[in-house]
Every structure is written in structure tokens, then in C-alpha cells.
Amino acid sequence: MQKPKLFAVLGGGYSGEQFLKDLTAGLIVGIIAIPLSIALAIASGVSPEKGLYTAIIAGFIISLLGGSRVQIGGPTGAFVVIIYGIIEKKGYPALVLATVIAGIILIFMGIVKLGSVIKYIPYPITTGFTSGIALVIFSQQIGDFFGLKLEKAPSEFIPRMAEYIKTMGTMDINSLVVGIISLLIIIGWPYISKKIPGSLVAIIISTLLVKFLGIQVETIGDRYGDLQAVLPSFQLPQFSLDMMIDIFPSALTIAVLAGIESLLSAVVADGMIGDKHYSNTELIAQGAANIMTGLFGGIPATGAIARTAANVRNGGRTPVAGMIHSLVVLAVMMLLMPYARMIPMTTLAAILMVVAYNMSEWRAFKNLFKAPKTDIAVLLFTFVLTVALDLVVAIEFGIIMSAFMFMKRMADNTRIESIKNDIQEDPGIILTNPEGIDPSIQIFQIYGPFFFGAADKFIHTIQDNIAKTYVMIIRMKHATFMDATGYHALFKTYSYCRKHKILLLLTQVQKQPHELLKRYGFIDLIGKDNLCPDIEHALVRANAYVELNRKFVSVKETLT
């Protein structure tokens, strides 16, 4: 296993100049992380300090143990939907258990080196559920943004939207105005300064407006009471076997999401700094971070693409910047946490609306409609299921659907054809028989992987062309892969040939199919002489067998 990137950085001569750059980047990213962590925690259905705990603990561990030089870890929008669902249905203790189990799964994935495998989750799935999550997050903010009087908004998308429509008459104009001002500040501030995050400026200005102008809007303090600057405390999760079984699907989804998000972020960062991350080391770091954040009162964490990019843009080049970012969040929390109670809920809603828009990937979503119809179907089904039902169901269904679509596509691309006429007309193949290939010799070629999706096609093609045959040649020049079902179809063909005294010859068997046939004992069964290096050798052997059979038939007819 490769060591964390921090070891390589410190062992390679860490300069004071780079420390100053990392310090600057860490300060800026820490400031960016504070409003986002609070907003994401509230959107997830937990109290504000839990988002800060996550940024502090997970952010530090991911930088300390991670496989990327510049990865910034913490709470992200990807988890909001699943966290909210767990909190709503099972409570915070279940979330703690799910987070710890997810961390264990991530460590296991890193140990068994699944870092490269997780990258193969199809793009339409990641785009579908990311866009779905973005829409759900956006919809969750409508109540706070408009100041609607809701007892409790339903967790499901459609009932929640119906409840918003029903209560739209309770809209609070003060909340709406403050929310619009906050939204305009967040959108417009980058044109003034890109160093200081617009979300922080929106929080400061809106809080001051509400405080000094006496504007009556709901604040964090109104909903959660006084916030204390208290360090997180260690607490073992409540668990039982039934509880672990019940929460495992959600934990697995958290682990997969954390793995996908962190490795995507690491890939983006690699492109920005010209480095190469260690994917399995990164997964282990993500696992350790989630275990610790779960045990210390946080929520699930992963690599945050936007904060990682901000780190790089501001000069961060080593994990030291990420560690400083977490310390900045800790310092601000200890000094200013009591003042967070004055932040308007509508301002946090505006921040999360912008977060949802940025993570929606609507351009990527739109461009995917140029893809094959199967990809479009996977995209839409994953998106709709994420919004209408559940993220766990969406990912499971998306992966299963993609797998079946892939198998169908591969099966469609695998062909088994009779190529006897092609061989006769090929000037590059020398035929020993000047009259051409004997009518009693059949030649087939497999194009593409010979797997379970193509086995039935193989058997039907053979059956449709096998009449009046003495010799069957199967050319495997383009069959680079064979699975157990493909072998079974080949064995059934051999059994048929043996029963009807047909000679079966294989030519140009590729490496993987050859090794499989050897393990099954098929090469000894068919005879090594019947594995030919090319079609010319196969035809020589086939002609000799046909001639022998015809002489035998002639002698038999003479005797009778």
C-alpha cells in the first residue's frame, strides 16, 4: 500500500515558502468551509455544529492520511439526501452507525485495492443521481427561502412540493426579501473578489441587516436555540445486529458516494497540479475520517471538489493546506459559534440553492442526450428515482440497469458467422484444394467476447448451418475473452460433433480462451492436434478427414 502524500511531501524537503502558500490557501478554504458546513448540516436535518465538527475532524484526517496532495475533505451536498432520509426515518444514532460502517467499508475497499474499480461506475449514473440530489436540495430550501409556516416538511419530494403549494399563502415577505438579497450577493460577489467567498459575505450582510434594522425573520437560534462553542465529544454508536442489518444498505451507499466523490475530486486536482493521487490510500483515509467523524458527533464526509479547487487556486500544493483549513474552522467555531445563532435561515437557504445549482451538472445532463439511448435511459431512471424515491434505490437500479445494458451491447456486438465463402474469396489464404473448400466443411468465426450474452446466439448459428457436415472449423481469432457459459456452449457443440462423428477444429485461439480451455481439460479432450495455428492448417487437416471418411463410405458401400 502506498504511503499518504503527506509523507512524500515532508520527506522531499518542505520549504518555508510553500508553507506560506499553504497557510494562505488553508485560511481561505477554511473561511469558505464554515458557511457551507453549517448550511449542509442544517439541510441534512442535523444541528449546525455537526457540520463544523465534520469539516474539522474529517478535513484534518483526509489531509493527514490521504492519497492526494491537495484534497479538502468535509461535508458535501452529495450526502444531504441520504442523511436527511436516515435522520427522518431512524434518527441520529442510526446515522452515526451508518457513518462508522461506511468508514469500515471504505477502508476495506482501499485494502483490497478497489480504488481503480470504483471509477468504472458509469457516468450517466453519477450525473443522474448528482442532478437528482441537486434538485432535492434545492426543493428543500423553498420553505426557508419563502419563510413558509410549516410544521414539518415531508421528506419525499412530491409530498413536500404539494405541502409547499398548500402553504404558499403563509409566505413571509421579510424572509423572501432577505433571501433574495443574500442570493444576489452570492451570485454577484465573485465579480468583486474571488478570494473571500460570497456565501460568507451574504451571511455577514444579511445578519447585520436583520440585527440592526430589526427585520423579523427566523434565525438559526430561533430553530436550534443557543449555540455553544464546545469541542466534539467521543461517543460510541448504539448498535445491535438487527440495527446493523437494517442500516447496512444506507452505509454502503454512503461508502460508494464517498469513494466516487473523493476520487473524482482527486482526479480533478491531479489535472490542476500535474500530480497523480493514490486512489487506494485515499479510500483508506476517507474511511478513517468517516469512522472518526461518526464517533465524534459529525456527519458523513468526502472530498469536496469545489473546496479542493479553491485550495489549488489559492496556492495550496500539499496536505498541510488541508490540515490548516480544518484548524481555521476549529478556531472560528470556538470564537464565533455563539454569534451563529443570528444567521437568518433564509440566507442559508440561498447558499444551498447556489450549491444545488453548482452541483446540478445541468450542462452535462443536457449533453448526455446526445449519447446512445441506453445511456439516456440510465440517466433518466437514476435521476427520477433519486428525486421521487430514494438515493439507495436509484444507485442500485442504475448500476443493475447499466450492467444489463452493457451486457446487451456486448452481446449485440458479438457475432458468430459462417465465413466459408469469405475464406474461399480471400486471396491471402492459400487453399490446397483447387476446387475450393469441400461442401462438407463448415467454417464459423466468433467476433467479440464469447460470454453468456452470446452463447445462445452461438448455438443457434451452429444449428442453422450444420447439415451434411464432416468437419466444423471454429475460428477464434477475434474472440479475446471466454467465460464459463461460452465454454459450456463450446462443449455442447463438441458433444454434438462427437455424437455425429464430426471433426471439430479450433483455430487461432487467443490467450485467455486458451488458458480457460486448458483449465477445463478441453484441449486434452479435443486433442492438441485439433487446435490449429491458422485456417490453412485447419483446412489441410479437414480435407484429410473428409477424404478418409469418403474412402470409408466407399469401402462400406462396396462391401454391402
For residue 480, give the 3-state DSSP assignment.
coil
Contacts of 50 (CB under 8 A, 6+ apart): 41, 297, 298, 299
**CA 38, CA 33: separation in Å to the nearest integer?**
9
Q: Is the dihedral of CA 427, 429, 434, 440 positive or negative?
A: negative
E strand intervals along 305-375: none
Q: Which three cell numbers stand for residue 254?
A: 454512503
**CA 71, CA 320: separation in Å to the nearest integer?**
10
Pairing status of strand 415-418 against strand 441-447: antiparallel
CA distances from 257 to 401, 403, 449, 494 (A): 18, 18, 31, 47
**CA 370, CA 247: separation in Å to the nearest integer?**
38
Q: Which of 318, 309, 429, 381 is nearest to 16 (CA)?
A: 318
**CA 29, CA 311: separation in Å to the nearest integer?**
6
Element (H, E) at 531: strand 531-532
**CA 479, CA 413: separation in Å to the nearest integer?**
12
**CA 140, CA 387: separation in Å to the nearest integer?**
12
**CA 102, CA 109: separation in Å to the nearest integer?**
10
**Predicted local confidence at residue 319, as pLDDT:** 94
DSSP state of 2: P
The DSSP bridge partners found for residue 474 are 444, 506
Contacts of 550 (CB under 8 A, 6+ apart): none
Q: Which of 310, 343, 468 is nearest to 52 (CA)?
A: 343
Residue 159, judged by CB atoms within 10 A of its CB (0-12, 13-18, 19+), counts as exposed
**Predicted local confidence at residue 255, as pLDDT:** 93
Q: Which three cell numbers stand for residue 25?
A: 490557501
CA distances from 450 to 462, 506, 526, 531 (A): 14, 14, 19, 17
The DSSP bridge partners found for residue 443 are 473
CB 398 within 8 A of CB 382: yes
* Residue tagged 481439460 (cell numbers): 521
Q: How many residues does the chain have?
A: 560
Q: Is the dihedral of CA 509, 511, 514, 516 positive or negative?
A: negative
**CA 385, CA 190: separation in Å to the nearest integer?**
35
Domains contained in the chain, CATH given: 17-140+155-227+239-405 (no CATH), 415-559 (3.30.750.24)
CB 175 within 8 A of CB 145: yes
For residue 150, give the 3-state DSSP assignment.
coil
Q: Does the pTM exceed 0.85?
A: no
**CA 279, CA 41: separation in Å to the nearest integer?**
27
**CA 265, CA 400: separation in Å to the nearest integer?**
25
**Predicted local confidence at residue 106, as pLDDT:** 95
Per-residue pLDDT in tens (0 to 9) along the chain, 560 residues: 688 988 887 777 778 888 899 999 899 889 888 888 988 898 888 988 999 999 999 999 999 999 999 999 999 888 888 898 899 888 899 999 999 999 999 999 999 988 877 667 787 887 888 888 888 888 888 988 998 887 777 777 888 888 888 888 889 999 999 999 999 999 999 898 877 788 888 989 999 999 888 889 888 888 877 777 788 888 887 778 888 899 998 999 899 889 988 988 888 888 888 888 899 999 999 999 999 999 998 999 999 888 898 888 888 899 999 999 999 999 989 988 888 888 898 998 898 888 888 877 777 788 888 878 888 888 888 888 888 877 777 777 888 888 787 777 777 778 888 888 878 777 767 766 667 788 888 888 888 888 887 788 888 887 777 667 888 999 998 888 989 988 998 999 898 888 888 899 999 999 999 999 999 999 989 888 899 988 888 888 888 888 887 777 666 666 65
**Predicted local confidence at residue 418, as pLDDT:** 83
**Predicted local confidence at residue 58, as pLDDT:** 95
What is the gyration radius of the CA atoms in the chain, in angstroms?
Answer: 32
* Residue tagged 477445463 (cell numbers): 520
Inter-axis angle of helices 16-43 and 345-359, nearest 10: 110
Contacts of 536 (CB under 8 A, 6+ apart): 429, 430, 431, 432
CB 443 within 8 A of CB 437: yes
